[in-house]
Amino acid sequence: MMHQNMELLYSVNQYTQTVMKKWTAAFPYPISISALLVLGELKTKGPQKQVTLAQFLKITPGAMTNIANMIVQKNYAKRVYDEKDRRITRLAITEQGKELVEAARTTEAKINTDLLKVLSQKERETFLELFRKISE
CATH of the domain at 72: 1.10.10.10
pLDDT confidence of 128, banded at 50, 70, 90?
confident
Task: Report yes or no on 43 lying in a domain.
Answer: yes
**Phi first, then psi: what are they for 44, rounded to 5°?**
-75, -45
Task: Report yes or no on 6 lying in a domain.
Answer: no
Domain residue limits at 56: 21-135
Comparison of pLDDT for 101 and 5, the residue scoring more: 101
Task: Report yes or no on 3 lying in a domain.
Answer: no
The DSSP result for 61-129, as a single string, is HHHHHHHHHHHHHTTSEEEEE-SS-TT-EEEEE-HHHHHHHHHHHHHHHHHHHHHHTTS-HHHHHHHHH
Of 97, 98, 106, 93, nearest to 27 by C-alpha is 106
Q: What pLDDT score does 16 carry?
A: 86
Task: Report yes or no on 34 lying in a domain.
Answer: yes
What is the number of domains present in the chain? 1
Task: Report yes or no on 74 lying in a domain.
Answer: yes
Q: Which residues contact 81 (CB under 8 A, 6 or more apart)?
A: 88, 89
CA distances from 50 to 55, 61, 66, 69, 121 (A): 9, 7, 11, 11, 40
pLDDT digits (tens, 9 = 90+) for 57-114: 999 999 999 999 999 999 999 999 988 888 889 999 999 999 999 999 999 999 988 8
Task: Report yes or no on 98 lying in a domain.
Answer: yes
Distance, in Å, from the CA atom of 10 to the CA atom of 3, rounded to the nearest integer, reads 10
pTM (predicted TM-score):
0.78
